[in-house]
Structure 1
Amino acid sequence: MKVYLAGALFNEAEVERRLKEGKLLREAFSDIELFNPIEQPFNEDKQTLPTPETIYTNDKNAVFNSDVCIFDVTNEDAGVMVELGLAIAYGKKIIAVNSDIRLKSANKYEIPSYSMNHFVLGAILKHGVLVYSFDEVIKELKKY
């Protein structure tokens, strides 16, 4: 099974998270072929980064060649949103995770404390599933 893993990766915590998710996926699935952008060779040396066009082409091709795409939409990172749009256009199976702890309790207050963009949420629900933790991502992926 070919899996694409997308999430913000522009600070130390995000990089650490993406690496941990890659490790968790490989531990849970021995036969997985994982494309995790942060693990790509060009991300090892920040002084020799490829052009934006090369990054787009490589990631676009990886989405196209994947069976399932996992998206961390917690922070609605612009790059992740483009990858999500590509996955929808390519008809991929989608698992989106929003781990913001306010999401499940937002409507318990007179003024909700958190909300997702409803266009993005609608796209996810129309073409895949939304979960609330990476453990749930793994459970969903086992269904495939």
Structure 2
Amino acid sequence: MKIYFANGLFSEADRLYNDMVVKKIREMSSDIEVYLPQENGDINDKMNYADSIKIAQEDNKELLSSDLVVAVLDGDTMDDGVATEIGLAFGKEIPVVGLWTDLRQHGFNNPAKVEAVKIIGENPFGYINNYTIGLIKMNGVVINTVDQLLVEVKKYL
């Protein structure tokens, strides 16, 4: 099984997180191949130059030959490239497992948090684009821990 791993890759924190999660996925089975864009030096060694068409061609080739997309949805807003990859996967009917670990989603049973939403300018919950989440849910799932991610990936083996 081939997995395309979609997340931002421009900060050290993102690259380290990507490495950690992908390592766990790869350790699940020798039958799993993971394409992690940051490992493709031809397009993502930022000391060199790859134009937008080369980047799109390389990543599209890998995504379209994948059986599953794992998409990290974290951040103030999800990474633009990740949202694009989710859209392409949806259009080609490639399932997506979305990983959204934002801690603000917790406490949905807390009455004070629920009441706060009624006040202009108050929202103690995280926001994520509903259209993009809908695309994922139509052919996949959204989960909120790496452990749950590994359980979901196992279902596709």
* Short-chain TM bin: over 0.9
Matched, 1:23 2:23: yes
User: Aligned partners of 1:42 and 1:21: how far apart in 2?
Assistant: 22
1:1-144 correspondence to structure 2 within 5 Å = 1-42=1-42, 45-75=45-75, 76-106=78-108, 108=110, 109=113, 110=115, 111=117, 112-113=123-124, 114-144=126-156
Is contact 2:69-2:89 (8 Å) kept? yes
Identity value in percent: 31
Stretches of structure 2 that go unaligned for 5 or more consecutive residues are 118-122
Cα distance per residue 1:73-118 (max 9 Å; x no partner): 1121100000000000110011001000111325631224122221
Is contact 2:7-2:71 (8 Å) kept? yes
Name the amino acid aligned to 2:107.
Answer: S
User: Aligned partners of 2:74 and 2:62: how far apart in 1?
Assistant: 22
**Count of matched residue positions in the alignment of Structure 1 and Structure 2:** 144
Stretches of structure 1 that go unaligned for 5 or more consecutive residues are none
Q: Which shows bigger deviation, 78-87 or 123-132?
A: 123-132
| CA deviation after TM superposition for structure 1 residue 61, in Å | 1.2
Counterparts in 2 of 1:121 and 1:72: CA distance versus 1, 3 Å? same
Counterparts in 2 of 1:30 and 1:52: CA distance versus 1, 3 Å? same
| CA deviation after TM superposition for structure 1 residue 21, in Å | 1.6
User: Aligned partners of 1:82 and 1:107: how far apart in 2?
Assistant: 33
Runs of 4+ in structure 1 over 6 Å off = none
Name the amino acid aligned to 2:136.
Answer: I
Counterparts in 2 of 1:39 and 1:2: CA distance versus 1, 3 Å? same
Aligned to 1:102, what secondary structure does the other structure show? helix
Aligned to 1:87, what secondary structure does the other structure show? helix
Q: Which shows bigger deviation, 65-74 or 22-31?
A: 22-31
Is contact 2:101-2:144 (8 Å) kept? yes
Is contact 1:19-1:38 (8 Å) kept? no
Aligned to 1:57, what secondary structure does the other structure show? helix
User: Aligned partners of 2:87 and 2:41: how far apart in 1?
Assistant: 25
| CA deviation after TM superposition for structure 1 residue 43, in Å | 5.6
| TM-score normalised over the length of structure 1 | 0.92
User: Highest CA radius of gyration, 1 or 2?
Assistant: 2
| TM-score normalised over the length of structure 2 | 0.85
